Structure 1
Amino acid sequence: MDTYAQVLMVAIPFFILLIIIEAFYSWRIGKLSYNGMDTISSLSSGTTNTLKSVLKLSVVIVSYAWFVDKVALTEIKITWLVWLLSFIAIDFASYWSHRLNHSINIFWNQHIVHHSSEEFNLACALRQPISNIIGYGFIFLLPAALLGLPAKVIAVIAPIHLFMQFWYHTVHIPKLGWLEYLIVTPSQHRVHHAINDIYIDKNLSAIFCVWDRIFGTFQEELDEEPCVYGVKKPVITWNPIKINWMHMWQITKDAWRTKNWKDKFRVWFMPTGWRPEDVSIQYPITYEKDPHAQVKYAPASSKSLKNWSWFQYVFSTLLMIHMLTQIDKIGFPYLFVYGGFLFVLIYSYSSLMDHETKAVWIEIGKSIMGLSIIISTGSWFYLEEMLPGANLLMALYFLVSPVVVYYLSKQTAAVKVSDLSVGR
């Protein structure tokens, strides 16, 4: 099995267990920090990010291994000090990469998904991008490369550094005294995810908060200014795939619509949120200026729809785990077929969560795709070997799911009409 896939097989159950514990705790103390549909959206975003990573759906401009080989000023042996320096170097690079994402229009597109939740919880931490298809991290690792920090050390520390950022996505841990001056804490990261004007683009560090204090981006959480989460212009969707590309789509439309040829180019590289003057006048974007008055996205959903959405998420997760366990046996190009199917599955059920009228057609297309895989290959990616009768069960699912989605779509439409009739 691929090494990264092995790590994920351990990390995924661990993260989900902690999310369940936090959700139960928040319910137990009467301070619920979870919304069911939002949680499904967050977890599904984590699934898409995992699929992207496993399928290696990105292009690395220059690998760190090549970079360090070309620019290293010295060659050093691996010691405990090298491991420590490598961790600090990655944290430094993470700060500047993160700051770039918050500063430039085109780079914000790959980060908006992480900020898109209007809740703040451990599930929110899993809202990771699939739109970061160009790897340029080597640029910020220049200090590490100059020192000659070994590529294999960087490769080991990088995922550890990423996973260490999970724990502080919570509203249930208060300020941590002297630790607030050393590491990034939940309090500091609550500020980072908040859309209050005083908190915007603050606390960009990953592990050590010293970078924010040195480079002027630190902001303490204020008792008199409660954090409001999300993005200034709400995404208004549970679909993680849409969220990944909506800012890019907005920039593309602005570049097309503007009459100023200079603006057609610079709109991509201007500060986040900048729009050409003629476009902003003709096609204004309105949003609630007061974050405390912002209404969270929460379309009315029946219990049946919520239960079906959870079933679909759990089903997609089990299929992804199956793909990871059989990754060597499935091989290419069928891994792309499997991964592609899972992307369609997630897009389908999240479209239904958004009450989209086309959700039924997407579900039908997904089921046709699934049945075609079984018919053309004779199995569902070797699942029959692990679970006798799996092919029949999968085929039955593909036949039944469009019927269920059709019923839920009709139910949702009836709810909308009911809301309108009472003037909601």
Structure 2
Amino acid sequence: MELYAKALTFAIPFFLILIIIEEIAARRMRRQINYGMDTISSLSSGMTNTLKNLMGLSIAIVSYGWMVDKVALFQIESTWLVYLVAFIGMDFVGYWSHRFDHKINAFWNRHIVHHSSEEFNLSCALRQSVSAIVGIYFFLYIPMAFLGVPGEVVAIVAPIHLFAQFWYHTRLIGKMGFLEHILVTPSHHRVHHAINDIYLDKNLSQIFIFWDKLFGTFQEELDEVPPVYGVKKPVNTWNPLIINYVHLWALIQDAWRTKSWWDKLRIWFMPTGWRPADVAEKYPWDYWKNAFDQVKYNSYPSKPLQIWSWAQLVVNFGMVFHVLVAFVSFQYLEVMIYAIFMMISIFAYTSLMDKAKIALPAEIIRFAMGIGLIYWNGGWFGLQELIPGATVLVGFYLTASLGMTYLILSKEGKAKVDVKTPELVSSN
């Protein structure tokens, strides 16, 4: 985990620089690819994923190291060959785990947050899950284990493979010639993020596009069908923590409401979007039947709310970066407490972006927890040793945040929020 934290201290600034470059390029091209609240939501989602990982909230049913010890039939000697096999193996695992996440009802909840943005840009690449806690795809690593790829090699290759998927989340790069036949390109991935019927659940590869061509899930981007981004059943919120569990909650409701015990059991493993017939008829879901009818979610934030939301993002990002930089000096309990505080913080300000009433109770809880931590520890997790007066600044921030949340909700809590009302389509 220390290696992960150290890697992110370099990767995150690099990602942010690329996001800024993309925005500058878009403005020069006179194209709008970012919407402020959506971008804040995406970056906040990235922070929640980072915090989840730092807390170690991952459960391996079977560890890769154990599999290698038990089933390895070969031992690859060449160093470069080991890393090449590991990278291709990771890509194979990535394709199939990605496909299962798209195709199986319960597993879609692990992945929905990544597709929830109705924009397509580099920041949406950072929409990563906090609900994918249990490592359910261990069996996909068996081929690599048979070949004897060491666990330490997989540990090095995995983050490289993940970070290499960032760059192609953009609308600014067109088709890339011969590379279209080898790698996943922005054009391929635009198709993947689209909700147009012809594009749905296509181009599931992560680095090498040949997996899609081999397994029948490839679709070229068509000039006559511009991609429309998001999810068929709109999430209608900027709060990444709510997005992470919105599909699971829908499945729980359906499982509870259906009268069929067989449907209560099978709903979890049926194709994504499947619903019991009795529930679908009585409680229809709102879907976009025609992608081109989509109306993007908009909470109509005032200028003060927009500015405050950006300020919250900057402050909270600074705190997350503090956790990364000081990770080696923290005790595990300190990491857990800090991360829980940050999760509450992100929940509070992204709820405020929605103008949701729950933002104020969440802010009160955060304020009480923050002041309590300062009182108990005599400071803010050692931050005062890096920044003189940091404890006072954090205390001021907590107070200001509570006050601003109350004021904004008082003035804007009943303002217009554009919640999508797509044509009703029964999913059964």
Same fold (TM over 0.5): yes
Q: Distance in 2 between matches of 1:402 and 1:82?
A: 53
Q: What secondary structure, in the 3-state scheme, does the structure 1 residue paired with 2:229 have?
A: coil
State the alpha-carbon separation in 1 of the partners of residues 122 and 287 from structure 2.
27
- 1:143-185 residue CA offsets vs partner (Å, 9 max, x unmatched): 1111111111111111000000000000000001111111100
Deviation sequence 1:381-416 (CA, Å, 0-9, x none): 001111111111111122221111111112213644
Query: What's 2:405 paired with?
Result: 405
In the alignment, which residue of structure 2 is the partner of 1:273?
273
Q: Residue 9 of structure 1 contacts residue 324 of structure 1 at CA under 8 Å; is this kept in 2?
A: yes
Contact 2:299/2:416 (8 A) holds in 1:
no
Mapping of residues 253-402 of structure 1, within 5 Å: 253-402=253-402
Supply the AA of the counterpart residue of 2:231. Answer: V
- Paired residue for 1:49? 49
Contact 1:78 1:150 in 2 (8 A): no
Q: Which residue of 2 aligns with 1:198?
A: 198
Q: C-alpha separation between the residues in 1 aligned to 2:413 and 2:93?
A: 48
1:109-148 aligned at under 5 Å gives the runs: 109-148=109-148
**Residues 33 and 171 in structure 1, CA contact (< 8 A), matched pair in contact too:** yes
Kindly tell me the number of residue pairs found equivalent between the two proteins.
Answer: 417
Q: How far apart, CA to CA, are the structure 1 residues paired with 2:329 and 2:215?
A: 49
- 1:292-316 per-residue CA deviation (whole Å, 9 max, x = no partner) reads 1110001111111011001101111
- Spell out, residue by residue over 1:227-284, the C-alpha distance to the aligned partner (whole angstroms, 9 max, x if none): 0000001110000000001101000111111100011010000000000111101111
Q: Answer with 398-407 or 211-220: which moved more.
A: 398-407
Answer yes or no: is the 8 Å Cα contact 1:67–1:138 preserved in 2. no
- The alpha carbon displacement at 1:27 in A equals 1.9
Tell me, in whole angstroms, the C-alpha distance in 1 between the residues paired with 2:285 and 2:323. 42
Amino acid at match of 2:308: W
C-alpha contact (below 8 Å) 1:168/1:186 kept by paired residues: yes
2:251 alignment partner AA = I
Q: 1:184 to 1:57 in 2, by over 3 A?
A: same
State whether residues 191 and 199 of structure 1, in contact with CA within 8 Å, keep that contact through their aligned partners in structure 2: yes
Residue type at the aligned position of 2:282: Q
Number of the residue aligned with 1:421 = none
What is the percent sequence identity of the aligned residues? 55
| TM-superposed deviation, 1:78 | 4.2
Partner of 1:422: none
CA distance in 2, matches of 1:69, 1:42: 39
User: Does the aligned pair in 1 maintain the 2:37–2:353 contact within 8 Å?
Assistant: yes
Structure 1 residue 45: deviation in Å? Answer: 0.4
Q: Partner amino acid for 1:215?
A: F
Q: Deviations over 1:64-84 (max 9, x none)?
A: 111111111122324211211
Deviation by residue 1:7-28 (Cα, 9 ceiling, x = unmatched): 0000000001100111121122
* C-alpha distance in structure 1 between counterparts of 2:268 and 2:97, whole Å: 17
User: In structure 2, how many angstroms separate the alpha carbons of the residues matched to 1:253 and 1:120?
Assistant: 30
* Partners of 1:15 and 1:137 in 2: CA distance: 28
Question: Is contact 2:54–2:335 with CA below 8 Å preserved after alignment?
Answer: no
Whichever residue aligns with residue 189 of structure 1, its letter is H
Measure the CA separation in 2 of the matches of 1:142 and 1:92.
11
Q: 1:346: Cα distance to partner?
A: 0.2
2:224 maps to 224
* Separation in 2, partners of 1:249, 1:414: 26
Measured in 2, the distance between the counterparts of 1:227 and 1:76 equals 43
For 2:62 and 2:377, locate their aligned partners in 1 and report how far apart those are by CA, in whole Å. Answer: 38
Give the aligned CA root-mean-square deviation in angstroms.
Answer: 1.2
The one-letter amino acid paired with 1:243 is: I
| Residues in 2 aligned to 1:398 and 1:177: alpha-carbon distance in whole angstroms | 52
Supply the AA of the counterpart residue of 1:343.
M
CA contact (8 A) 1:49 1:129 kept: yes
Measure, in 2, the Cα distance between the counterparts of 1:100 and 1:203. 13
The aligned counterpart of 1:58 is 58
CA distance in 1, matches of 2:31, 2:328: 44
Output one character per residue of 1:345-395: Cα deviation in whole Å (capped at 9) or x when no partner: 000000000010221221111111100000111110001111111111111
Structure 2 counterpart of 1:246, one-letter code: V
One-letter amino acid of the counterpart of residue 366, structure 2: K
**Residue 103 (str. 1) matches residue 103 (str. 2):** yes
Superposition TM-score, scaled by structure 1 size: 0.97
Q: Distance in 1 between matches of 2:27 and 2:291?
A: 25
How far, CA to CA, are the matches of 1:332 and 1:53 in structure 2?
A: 12
Cα distance, 1:416–1:99 mapped onto 2, change above 3 Å = closer
